[in-house]
């Protein structure tokens, strides 16, 4: 039976009243990048299958992968890979019981964001 005295408030912290913290945002982004890397892996496998299938089909798929859109997707994939890797390092550090203080965790979150962008630029420059 519903409590009639509770008014028109949500039952629990709701997206309309909850202010996301850096750690929650970086955690959600870590999950998103993990799933996005699966899509990138499917594209790479598609490219390899096209290479094994024949020259005409490979030219079509390779044209898509190396187009401007393909370059954007693959560049974002590199960003996601670095971000996810740095998130894994952060979790390994947390598994040792270190870096769990709010200030330290926030610094590590910013380190993930800034580090992944910097490593992505270095990677794209190298290739």
| 91 labeled part of a ligand binding site | no
Q: How far is CA 41 from CA 34, 53, 73, 78, in A?
A: 11, 18, 12, 11
Q: Are 115 and 82 in contact, with CB atoms under 8 Å apart?
A: yes
Task: State the Cα–Cα distance between residues 76 and 56, nearest whole angstrom.
Answer: 27
Q: Are 116 and 36 in contact, with CB atoms under 8 Å apart?
A: no
26-51 tens-digit pLDDT: 999 999 999 999 999 999 999 999 99
* Global pTM value: 0.81
76-110 tens-digit pLDDT: 999 999 999 999 999 999 999 999 999 999 999 99
Task: State the Cα–Cα distance between residues 40 and 76, nearest whole angstrom.
Answer: 9
Is the domain covering 20-126 a CATH 1.20.1530.20 domain?
no
């Amino acid at each position: 039976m519903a409590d009639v005295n509770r008014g028109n408030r949500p039952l629990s912290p709701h997206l309309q009243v909850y202010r996301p913290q850096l750690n929650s945002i970086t955690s959600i982004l870590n999950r998103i990048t993990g799933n996005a890397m699966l899509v990138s892996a499917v594209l790479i496998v598609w490219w390899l299958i096209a290479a094994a299938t024949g020259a005409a089909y490979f030219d079509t798929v390779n044209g898509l992968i190396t187009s401007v859109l393909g370059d954007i997707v693959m560049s974002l994939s590199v960003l996601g890979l670095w971000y996810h890797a740095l998130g894994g390092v952060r979790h390994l550090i947390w598994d040792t019981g270190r870096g769990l203080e709010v200030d330290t965790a926030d610094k590590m979150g910013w380190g993930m964001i800034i580090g992944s962008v910097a490593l992505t630029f270095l990677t794209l420059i190298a290739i």
